[in-house]
Chain A
Amino acid sequence: MDIKDKIVESTKEIFSTMVMMDVTVVDQDPTARQAIRDGISGIIGLAGTRKGVLAIHIPAPVALAITGSFLGMEVEEINEDVEDAVGELANMLGGNVKTILSENGRDIELSLPTTISGTNYDFQTAKDVEVTALAFATDTGTFSVELQLER
C-alpha cells in the first residue's frame, strides 16, 4: 500500500470515527494550485528523520459542516470552534502520517497545528518537496489533504 492509500485510509477513519461523517475520495487533481476563496486550512509540521508539512484545505461551508458534526452543534461562521476543529483534524492526520512514515512514529516529531483562514489566499510550499495531494467529497462539498515531504 503506498502512502497515498494510507492517507486515504486514515482520513476516512478519522472522519468516520471522530467527525462522524463519511467521506469519499474524489478523482480530481487537487495539486493544480489555485487560490482558496473563503476557506480555512489546518497545517502541522513534521520534523525529525522526515521533514514535512501536512495540510488540510477546507472551503468555509464544508468547514462549518465538519465542525458542526464534530462538535454536535450548529456552527454558522468561521469562529474559534472551527479553528480548533480544523487544527485538531490537522493534528490527528499528522499523528497518523507520523506513524505511517516511521516505525511506531518514534523518529518524527509533530509541531503544533495552526490554522489560516481568509477570503482569498494561496499557499506556497518549500522548494524541493514531494507533494501528495488528495481530494475528498462530503455532502456539503470537497476538501483536500496535502502532504509535503522534503526529498
Chain B
Amino acid sequence: MDYVTVLQEGTVEIFETMVMLPIVLQRVTEHSDSTLTDARVTGMIGFGGTIKGMIGVSATADMAKIVTGSLLGMEIAHLDDDVKDAFGEIANMIAGALKSACGENGIDIDLAIPNSVVGDCLHISGLRGAKRVVLEFSASAGKLWIELKYLEA
C-alpha cells in the first residue's frame, strides 16, 4: 500500500471538505530521527492491528489558529483548548482515512483515541526500527505536517 498517497489524498480531502481550507503538499521526507520543527501544536492518535503506528498532525502557531478558526467558523486568538480539540479531531479524521484505505487493502487496523499537545520547542521522536514519513503541507497562513510512524507486523 502506498501510505504517502493515502495520507496525501486523505489530508487534502479533509482540508477541502471539513476544514474548508485548501492546502498544498510541498514535500515528503522519510527519516527516523527526532524532529525539531517550528510546530507549536500537535494532535496525535495511535493505531494497532496488522500494522501498528501513530499519526501526528502538527502546525505552526499561525497555521494552527487559522485551521481551527476555519474548522469551527470562528476567530481564534490563542493556542487554546479549541485548537487542541481541533488538532485531535483532525488527527482522528486522517487516521480514519488511513483505516479505510487499509481495510480496502485487507489490512486490519484499530484506532486509539487522540491526544493533543501545545508547547514550545517540541521534539517528537520516532521509534528505532519503525518507518516514518512526514508530509509537509502549506497554505498562505503557514505550514502543517502530517507524520506517520508505523511498523509492519
Q: Which residues of A contact B (CB under 8 A)?
A: 35-36, 41, 43-48, 51-53, 55, 78, 80, 83-84, 87, 108-127, 129, 148, 150
Inter-chain contact total with CB atoms closer than 8 Å? 142
Which one of B21-29, B63-71, B113-121 is at the interface?
B113-121
Pair B113/A116 contact, Cβ less than 8 Å: no
Q: Are the CB atoms of B123 and A118 closer together than 8 Å?
A: yes
- Residue from A44, A83, A126 with most neighbouring chain B CB atoms (10 Å): A126
Query: Shortest CB–CB separation between residue A89 and chain B, in angstroms?
Result: 13
A80–B125 Cα gap in the complex (Å)? 8
Our pick among B33, B113, B117, B122 for the contact of A51 (Cβ within 8 Å) is B113
Contact of B115 among A36, A48, A125 (CB under 8 A): A125
Instruction: Give the chain B neighbours of A123 by CB distance below 8 A.
Output: 115-117
- Which residues of B are found within 8 Å of A47, using beta-carbon distances? 46-49, 109-112
Is the beta-carbon distance between A119 and B121 smaller than 8 angstroms? yes
Nearest chain B residue, comparing its CB with the CB of A122? B118
Name the residue of chain A whose CB is nearest to the CB of B122: A118
For the complex, count residues of B whose C-beta is within 8 A of A.
41
| 20 A-B pairs with C-beta separation under 8 A | A45-B54, A45-B112, A46-B48, A46-B112, A47-B109, A47-B110, A83-B34, A83-B123, A109-B48, A109-B49, A113-B127, A114-B124, A115-B123, A116-B123, A118-B121, A121-B120, A123-B115, A124-B81, A124-B84, A124-B88
List, in ascending order, chain A residues with CB within 8 A of B130's CB.
Answer: 112
Instruction: Write the nearest CB–CB distance from A121 to chain B, whole angstroms.
Output: 2
The answer for the CA separation of A41 and B122 in the assembled complex, in Å, is 11
A43→B54 CA distance, assembly (Å): 10
Select B125's contact among A45, A83, A110, beta carbons within 8 Å.
A83
The smallest C-beta distance from B129 to any residue of chain A, in angstroms, reads 10
CB-defined interface of B126-144 with A at 8 Å, one 1/0 digit per residue?
Answer: 1110100000000000000
User: Given A41, A84, A121, which contacts B128 in the complex, CB threshold below 8 Å?
Assistant: A84
A51 CA / B128 CA spacing, docked (Å)? 25
Q: Quote the shortest CB–CB distance from A3 to chain B (angstroms).
A: 17
Q: Are A118 and B120 in contact (CB under 8 A)?
A: yes
B112 touches A117 (CB 8 A): no
Among residues of A, the one whose C-beta sits closest to the C-beta of B125 is A83
In the complex the two chains form, is A127's CB within 8 Å of B48's CB? no
Write the nearest CB–CB distance from B93 to chain A, whole angstroms: 13
Let me know if B115 and A43 touch, CB within 8 A: yes
Nearest CB in chain B to that of A44: its residue? B46
Q: Are B127 and A116 closer than 8 Å at their CB atoms?
A: no
Bound Cα distance A45, B114 (Å): 8
